[in-house]
Structure 1
Amino acid sequence: VVWVEQNNPQGTGHAVQLAAPFVDKNSSVLILVGDAPLIEFDDLQKLTQYKQAVLSAEMQNPFGYGRIIKNSENQIEAIVEEKDASQQQKQISEINSGIILAESENLQSWIQQIDNNNAQGEYYLTDVIGLGFKNNQPFSAVTVRDNRSIKGINDRVQLSECETILQTKYRKHLMLSGVSMPHPKTVEIRGQLTCGQDIEIDTGVIFEGDNEIADNVSIGAYSIIKNCKLGKNTRIAPHSMLENVITKGDCDIGPFARLRPGTVIGEKAKVGNFVETKKTTIGYNSKASHLTYLGDSEIGDNVNIGAGTITCNYDGVNKFKTIIEDDVFIGSDTQLVAPVTVGKGATIGAGTTLTKNAESGKLTLSRARQKTIDGWQKPKKQ
């Protein structure tokens, strides 16, 4: 790739004058515009079937665009810019998209012959079209399939309009491919989204990055899914946020769950409301139903983690790992101070602060002895 900088912008023709010497004379040159991101591959492919051609469009309101002037044989004689057009020429509805295909040898010759004797004092690339006609090598006009594809961006309003067009196109393709969206206008796809069949995406869901969603997945309202791979029959309740997460399938997440990078959720597992995970693997049929933080953890199969459980993985300098083996029951309000391992089939009593490994198949708890004080009275306000 050769980059050529136009330090002193003097029009589109001037830009091509600077770049033309770097192009092989025996090739074809496709000139694109940098402010029209919606152009479709099929239109460009159709353009390349011609020796020399201009991508055009029929506009109900052609204001602001260069008009394509044709002769009786449908050959392009010239392209006249809006500011240079006569009142009669302004009535023409076929406009120039700015995208041109030309033979390199012709282009390099003609581009040096253009001048800036026009209303804007610029070198117009479109003047090359007239030179082609005068040299008996006229350009053909190839009409785009969808006029919206050549829409240019000059400000943030137009940027938003183009984004809306692109999002509508994405959503339509997904719905025709087996995805249900009750309110499609509210769904945002900011990256690549690959979907299976019979997927349900509710209101306000945002996809970011590269996401892959298998069959029969449902995603609740106002969830954010970023760089995730969701297995078959994954169910995500509303207001959940997943980033760099893998689900093995047939699992439940949310509502209000936050799954951070490195989280892997096994089949039949559940991560409920107000649960946060990070670099954590949760095994088959294991559950953390509510109000829990699981960081740097390996959790086996058939594990139940009570509300308020926290893996204390950070000592202020380093991160440490918590390992919870199969068939473990963790009581509510437990703190697991890593590095620590809870053996297979162990039970951890509610309110425990676990600082040492818990033995398999046994009950482990650390808790201050409960006392009832006889004769105690509430203090009275003085």
Structure 2
Amino acid sequence: MSQSLAVIVLAAGKGTRMKSDLHKVLHPIAGHPMLLHLLGSIGAVGVARTVIVAGDRREQIEAALAGTGSEVVVQEPQLGTAHAALQAKAALADFSGLVLVCFGDVPFLAASTVRRLCDALSSGAKVAVLGFRPDDTAAYGRIIADHDGTVRKMVEHKDASQEERAVNLCNSGVIVAHSDDMWRLLEAVGNDNAAGEYYLPDVATNAIAEGARVVVVETDEAEVMGINSRAELAEAEARWQQRRRRQAMDDGASLVAPETVWFAWDTKLGRDVLVEPNVVFGPGVSVADGVKIRGFCHIEGARLATGVEVGPYARLRPGAVLEEKAKVGNFVEVKKATMGKGAKANHLAYIGDAEVGAGANIGAGTITCNYDGYFKYKTVIGERAFIGSNSALVAPVKIGADAIVAAGSAVTRDVMDGELRIVRGEQLVKPGWADRFHDAMKKKKAEKQG
């Protein structure tokens, strides 16, 4: 970017079609609010200032933007998109450079498109607008332009003639101009139209009336897709997932049934990773090279090192760390715990708030009892320790290196290195007792029926 860029994001709409207590622009796609998708994408061009224009539920937007450096201003009353953009003027009073106006419910606007739009002003144009050609022009505003991209007229669908409605170049609403021009043109916008609103596209209309050149830059419909309903949110999620699956495979991961794998916005996969069907990645997952993820796993907030194997039917919760060649098998849940190099929990176990040493083996049915109803406690299992099936390790407790915990034990005290710990009731044997019991009960039943 040759000039500094400020971005104004319009997010003052009530979003009534969502029928939600959550602000429309905060509804997630791939586990990430659509507003943050937008800011993350266009931020790649190097944005100097960001102002969000909010209205209803401003506090939700402020909470979501905490720590991002974005400023929130309020549009009240809501008199149209040009009026909304103008509310950012005071916040940007000391800014000189390009000003881009876009929408918080259009999360897929790409940095490359923003760059093309800004570069379009270098040809001497005062204003650049972003257009697209949808399959269904619906009620979009139209852009009447020459073959060289020079805009002759911007018109809202409500105000367009039949001839203008036949044009398939539509207005996305995204617009850029230098700050000196943007504020002047915004302040000149009137509301003499069918809706009685102050329309943002009239910035371009006013520039044309001044004899200035306005240009249109075109992009794909999918990039400027607005999200106003739950159905459109689901469609956006599907599009995002489809692109992410393709990217994963292009980067060297194998997805056995791509359409059944769901990624989070920040999922990282290495090369030669195998992902079987029906796997869901939540936010915060990093997967190294050569990992095998079997079917029906749910993984969130976890880090998997090279050569790890997970599942099928495993759940890794936030804080799970699987070191090189560790294995977590079917119906195993790991939470805030580290499985050391080569450690195994092959089936039916819960490992929470724990450190499991390299080469340790966790038997089926084992649980770390980490919570007393008030506080969480830690279990430490040493290297090469063997935990027998159906054991309960009552934290805080340490199991030493090379120690063995016998099957069925409830361990409440530390186990030393190399020690065998057996915690069971004495096994009693009563020969013939079962036969006598069955005979007595059969006789009693027969007498009752007779």
Q: TM-score, normalised by structure 2?
A: 0.76
Alignment equivalent of 1:20, drawn from 62, 86, 89: 89
Partner SS, residue 83 of structure 2: helix
Distance 2:363 2:292 in 1: 19
Unmatched 5+ residue regions in structure 2? 1-69, 122-126, 371-377
Distance 2:410 2:233 in 1: 49
Distance 1:34 1:278 in 2: 39
2:418 is aligned with 1:345:
yes
Distance 1:73 1:329 in 2: 79
Do the aligned partners of residues 331 and 114 (structure 1) sit closer, same or farther apart at CA in structure 2, a change above 3 Å counting? same
Matching residue of 1:358:
none
Letter paired with 2:277: T
Q: Which is helix-richer, 1 or 2?
A: 2
Shift of residue 99, structure 1, vs aligned partner: 0.7
Shift of residue 271, structure 1, vs aligned partner: 0.7
Give the 4+ runs in structure 1 shifted more than 4 A.
Answer: 373-376
Matching residue of 1:110:
185
CA distances 1:152-172 after superposition (whole Å, capped 9, x unpaired) = 011110011111111111111
CA distances 1:353-380 after superposition (whole Å, capped 9, x unpaired) = 5xxxxxxxxxxxxx32524266782142
Q: Map residues 88-237 of structure 1 onto 2, 5 A cutoff.
A: 88-144=163-219, 146-237=220-311
Matching residue of 1:42:
112
CA distances 1:323-378 after superposition (whole Å, capped 9, x unpaired) = 111111211110001xx2111111223xx15xxxxxxxxxxxxx325242667821
Matching residue of 1:239:
313
2:73 is aligned with 1:8:
no
Do the aligned partners of residues 268 and 18 (structure 1) sit closer, same or farther apart at CA in structure 2, a change above 3 Å counting? closer
Q: Map residues 42-81 of structure 1 onto 2, 5 A cutoff.
A: 42-51=112-121, 52-71=127-146, 74-81=149-156
Distance 1:5 1:170 in 2: 35
Q: Map residues 211-360 of structure 1 onto 2, 5 A cutoff.
A: 211-243=285-317, 244-261=319-336, 263-294=337-368, 295=370, 296-313=378-395, 321-337=396-412, 340-349=413-422, 352-353=423-424
Q: Which is strand-richer, 1 or 2?
A: 1
Matching residue of 1:368:
426
Do the aligned partners of residues 2 and 264 (structure 1) sit closer, same or farther apart at CA in structure 2, a change above 3 Å counting? closer
Partner SS, residue 32 of structure 1: strand
Partner SS, residue 190 of structure 1: coil
Shift of residue 73, structure 1, vs aligned partner: 5.7
Partner SS, residue 87 of structure 2: helix
Q: Which moved more, 1:105-114 or 1:323-332?
A: 105-114
Do the aligned partners of residues 267 and 21 (structure 1) sit closer, same or farther apart at CA in structure 2, a change above 3 Å counting? closer
CA distances 1:260-314 after superposition (whole Å, capped 9, x unpaired) = 12x111122111211001111111221113111024211112211111100123x
> Does the Cα contact within 8 Å between 1:78 and 1:127 map onto a contact in 2?
no
Give aligned pairs, total.
356
Q: Which moved more, 1:273-282 or 1:78-87?
A: 78-87
Q: TM-score, normalised by structure 1?
A: 0.89
> Does the Cα contact within 8 Å between 1:191 and 1:207 map onto a contact in 2?
no
Q: Which is bigger in relative contact order (C-alpha 8 A, separation at least 6)?
A: 2
Unmatched 5+ residue regions in structure 1? 314-320, 354-366
Q: Which moved more, 1:173-182 or 1:283-292?
A: 283-292
Partner SS, residue 254 of structure 1: strand
> Does the Cα contact within 8 Å between 2:278 and 2:297 map onto a contact in 1?
yes
Distance 1:73 1:216 in 2: 51
> Does the Cα contact within 8 Å between 1:223 and 1:240 map onto a contact in 2?
yes
> Does the Cα contact within 8 Å between 1:273 and 1:290 map onto a contact in 2?
yes
Percent of aligned pairs sharing the same letter: 25
Distance 1:274 1:88 in 2: 68
Matching residue of 2:5:
none
> Does the Cα contact within 8 Å between 1:238 and 1:255 map onto a contact in 2?
yes
Partner SS, residue 112 of structure 2: helix
What's the RMSD between the two structures over aligned residues? 1.8
